[in-house]
Amino acid sequence: MSKCGRKKYIRTNLRQMTMETIESHQDGRVTDSMAEGGSAHMQTQTGQNSIPTLAQVATIAETDESAESEGVIDSHKRREILSRRPSYRKILNELSSDVHGVVPKIEEEKSEEEGTPPNIATMAVPTSIYQTSTGQYNEEIELAPSHMAAATGDMPTYQIPAPTTGLPQGVVMAASPGSLHSPQQLAEEATRKRELRLMKNREAAKECRRRKKEYVKCLESRVAVLEVQNKKLIEELETLRDICSPKAD
């Protein structure tokens, strides 16, 4: 068996095991949305997409609780519970409005078209505030001077196609639909539309993944900042306690 074939075999088995786990966890019942490729369970097939969003975590917890307490959820309610959450950009922008300065907004993608990196320069990157091996936090928060992805080399080759035409190279504009007569022309038009749709979706998927990574990084950044704040507040509380109730010695 070739390497790829073996991997496929392993992953297929892994997926099967995962689904069995989910089924057993849910008392042998798989929800409609999961069977349809719903968004509320963590993908474990390859390890990617394994980070559940906050909404997903809440959803899973809610589903578990309700499943235990009520036993049966009707399909409509399940659909509501497992409904898709808003986009990363929306969530992040809401977060940024709540915590100004901690979480950056995801900018509209226009800077790349202008030949400059996306404006993430104002983001507080937790480069040096992660917990050390001794449990201490480095409290220095640096401002990222350059594009984050460029620093990590995450998307070295990503490019948005030139927006001038909106069509891939090699895709020829067909004649107007009114001028299509023969089945051959109709088939060609359908093929062309499919190619265009696939190309757009390909780019959209890339962009979506980029945003997702950015979103996760921002959440991690926020966690780090809040942990630092929490630590400071605890220390402040201890100091005030010492002042208010000094030891009599």
Partner DNA sequence: CTTCGCCCACGTCAAGAGCC
Partner DNA sequence: GGCTCTTGACGTGGGCGAAG
Question: Among residues 130 and 140, whose Cβ is nearest to DNA?
Answer: 130
Q: Which of 26, 60, 67, 89 binds DNA (CB under 7 A)?
A: 89
Q: Which residue lies nearer to DNA by CB, 180 or 208?
A: 208
Determine which residue in the list 28, 47, 115, 178 makes contact with DNA, applying CB under 7 A.
47
CB of 34 to DNA, least distance (A): 7
Q: Given the complex with DNA, which of 155 and 228 has the nearer CB atom?
A: 155
Per-residue string for binding with DNA, 112-141, x by CB under 7 A?
A: ------------------------------
Stretch that binds DNA, among 8-16, 69-77, 133-141, 241-249 (CB under 7 A): 8-16
Window of 78-86, 114-122, 123-131, 181-189 that interacts with DNA by CB under 7 A: 78-86
d(CA 161, CA 132): 42
Using CB under 7 A as the binding rule, whether residue 213 contacts DNA is answered as yes
Q: Token match 């100091």: residue?
A: 239
Quote the distance between the C-alpha of residue 118 and its chain's center: 18
Closest-CA residue to 196 (of 178, 162, 172): 172
Q: Which of residues 170-199 bind DNA (CB under 7 A)?
A: 198-199
- Specify the residue, 130 or 143, whose C-beta has the smaller distance to DNA: 130
Of 128, 122, 86, which is closest to residue 102 (Cα–Cα)?
122
* 78 contacts 40 by C-beta, under 8 angstroms: no
Residues near DNA (CB under 7 A) are 3-4, 6-8, 10-12, 15, 36-43, 45-49, 53, 79, 83-90, 154-155, 157-158, 198-202, 204-209, 211-213
